Chains A and B, each alone.
Chain A
Amino acid sequence: MARRNQRPQLLFFVFLTAGAGLSAQAPAPDLSDPEVAHVAVTANTIDIELAKYAQTRTRNTEVRKFAATMIVDHGAVNAQAAALAGRLGVTPRDNAVSQSLLTGAGSARAAIEKLEGIAFDRAYMDREIGYHQAVLDALDGLLIPTSSNPELKKLLVDVRPAIAAHLAHAKQLRSSLGSQ
């Protein structure tokens, strides 16, 4: 993975931090390839973990099914990202951005932990809409047009429709839960 490709990837994860409730204005530190790979896995894992938590809290069948899909799909993307990292000889390494993502995810979870019933379902779906919209914006506006590593670009292009479908599904489901 060429060093010049790191910045767009990093900005992608800064967008992700916005989706997770963190500031998107923070300056992006310079990450090595192993650190970028760690951030990618962390970002997917955060959505998987929140989905697992949501499954223990929701009583809504559709919300539970949505959460199950997030676990499976982001798990599949993680597997592809890990395989790509392996082919490129990159070993993921923990870093400040990953830690920041985890902190933001913790805050997001703390906010919805206090909620019950439909209020919980609405907050979870709102968070999923924000998360997937942020990822989609980053893919369209930054990552796909600027990435030059062919394997990385292909992975991003392949993942994009899944993110868009998740977003549409989340909006549809959130709409069915009513306002507030």
Chain B
Amino acid sequence: MTPRGRELRRFGLVVALAMGVVAFAGAMAAPRSPAPVPRSHLIEIRGMAFQPAELTVMRGDTVVWINRDIVPHTATASGKRGWDTGTLNQAEPGRVVLRDAGTVHYVCQLHPTMRGTLIVR
């Protein structure tokens, strides 16, 4: 190998090493997408309505309903995987953990004109 060839080879090794170091540093420094942290969402039952009436949440999130009305209410989803907060008296909260993706319609069993929707992503 000529001196010129040796110089080029050395240069190539240096470049390769530098690229490796940069790639490693980049990999170490790159922000990792954090595991989703379950959140809690509040739905107020006020004036014979779920507020908000429609809410988008992530799987694993918890939804808490709190009854601000004088009369008791429920939040009850129908279907095979239906859930029910049970009767919530005035100022009483009820919570449900949403484990499955999909759109869930729910009602107050005591007042069927009250309707709400949860979109679980």
Contacts and interface: CB of A to CB of B under 8 A. Distances in A.
A168 B71 contact: no
B46 to A, nearest CB: 8
Interface stretch (A16-24, A140-148, A155-163): A155-163
A164 B47 CA distance: 10
Contact of B111 (A69, A76, A158): A69
Given A161-B47, A162-B48, A76 B113 contact: no
Nearest to B89: A76
Given A76-B90, A161-B49, A164-B48, A169 B113 contact: yes
A83 B53 CA distance: 31
Contact of A169 (B47, B49, B71, B112): B112
Interface string A1-17: 00000000000000000
A158 B113 contact: no
Interface residues of A, number: 15
A69 B48 contact: no
Interface residues of B, number: 13
Among B71, B72, B111, B114, residue most surrounded by chain A Cβ atoms (within 10 Å)? B71
A49 interface: no
Nearest to B72: A72
B110 A69 contact: yes
Contacts of B111: 69, 165, 169
A8 B37 CA distance: 54
B113 A168 contact: yes
A76 B72 contact: yes
Interface in A14-39: none
Interface string B55-82: 0000000000000011110000000000
B3 to A, nearest CB: 92
A77 B90 CA distance: 11
Contact of B48 (A77, A80, A161): A161
A170 to B, nearest CB: 10
A76 B110 CA distance: 13
Interface of B: 47-49, 69-72, 90, 110-114
6 contacts: A72-B71, A72-B110, A76-B71, A77-B70, A165-B114, A172-B113
Interface of A: 69, 72-73, 76-77, 80, 158-159, 161-162, 164-165, 168-169, 172
Given A77-B70, A162-B48, A165-B114, 17 more contacts: A69-B111, A72-B72, A72-B110, A76-B70, A76-B72, A80-B70, A161-B48, A161-B69, A162-B71, A164-B48, A165-B48, A165-B111, A165-B113, A169-B111, A169-B112, A172-B112, A172-B113
* Those 7 A-B pairs whose CB atoms lie nearest each other, nearest first: A161-B48, A161-B47, A73-B71, A165-B48, A168-B113, A76-B71, A69-B110
